[in-house]
Amino acid sequence: MQNFWKKLKKPFFCLAPMSDVTDIAFRRILAKYSKNRENKDRVVFWTEFVATDGLCNKLAKKKLSHILKYSEAERPIVAQVFGANPENMKKACSYIASLGFDGIDINMGCPDKSVVAQGAGSALIKTPQLARKIIQAAHVGIKSAGTHIPVSVKTRVGFSKEEIDTWIPELLKEDISALTIHLRTAKELSLVPANWNYIKKIKELIKKSGKDILLIGNGDVADIDDARKKYKDFGCDGIMIGRGVFGNPFFFAFQKPGFRNLEKPGFGKQKNLDPSSILPFAGEEVKEKLEILIEHTQLFDKELAKPKHKSFAVMKKHFKAYVNDFPGAKELRAKLMGTENSKEVEKIIRSFLKLTNSD
């Protein structure tokens, strides 16, 4: 299998791995309305992260299987894993490689206390030799599956403080195709602005290594225009976007013919708007967005809630992102928060659209 990273056009854009967000339902919606256009060589999807220890436990593996389900429309798609046990990393990566993923990414940046307590995620910043063994184990596992897919790493600039000069060179000694840097320390979480000025230093280290490793910047990317600006200003190869994707199924479409800019009034970028001025402009956009919310919710029910992989409550974090800044949004959102399945969501939205159209 050819290394897909080598075929990407620059700048390229990545969907950040977000627990209970970038599940198969959300990715399918993004693939349908964004990625399934003429931009497949510029957009990479990540799964939610999955525990390698869990994949090595028969019972846990069955419970985690939904995380590694994907559709062909999502390619290229990278499975993200976390763990601190090289043997389990090897076994898990062998299994993942057999599923046909385009790549495997190792999470070495998650600051969650439960992940850090396992010695995984950002805790690996404190144990660089173990981090290197983890990368090596991933390659052994992939090879044992009889295939060859690239390994990448997502990390931060340090644990309690900036440690670029000591931490990043350790990763660069290993065989990685791409390096994603969340431009904060683990201790900073997302409480301070991401420092994009660190990109220059990391680029120099990659250059010094003599390796052809792609650098992906991550942190505080608002939209595609902002991503392009960061690419131009700081010179990384790609940009990873997390929270900026929420509520915008067209995020990676770049331009959608016949569809007004989602950043204009009605879609969350301007505050204190006169509601009477929004609907004449955004009526069709609001309708289409709510129709997609129905579809997203139905997918979540089918793939995750009904098989009891996840509680339907997980879906509700998307409601605020989809339903905002148009007349009646607050009231509609309050009703949606009380729903327990996709049928109830559809009934409430259809009623709202019927009422809106009659006005």
Query: Catalytic residue numbers?
Result: 110
Handedness of CA 122, 123, 129, 135 (dihedral sign): negative
Distance of CA 57 to the CA centre of its chain: 26
Distance of CA 43 to the CA centre of its chain: 11
DSSP-derived letter for residue 106 is E
The tokens of 233 are what? 């200003």
Could you give the angle at which helices 342-358 and 329-336 cross, rounded to 10 degrees?
160
* Cα–Cα distance measured from residue 239 to residue 333, given in angstroms and rounded to the nearest whole number: 31
Residues paired with 44 in a beta bridge: 14
Q: What are phi and psi of 177, to 5 degrees?
A: -90, -25
* Cα–Cα distance measured from residue 359 to residue 354, given in angstroms and rounded to the nearest whole number: 9
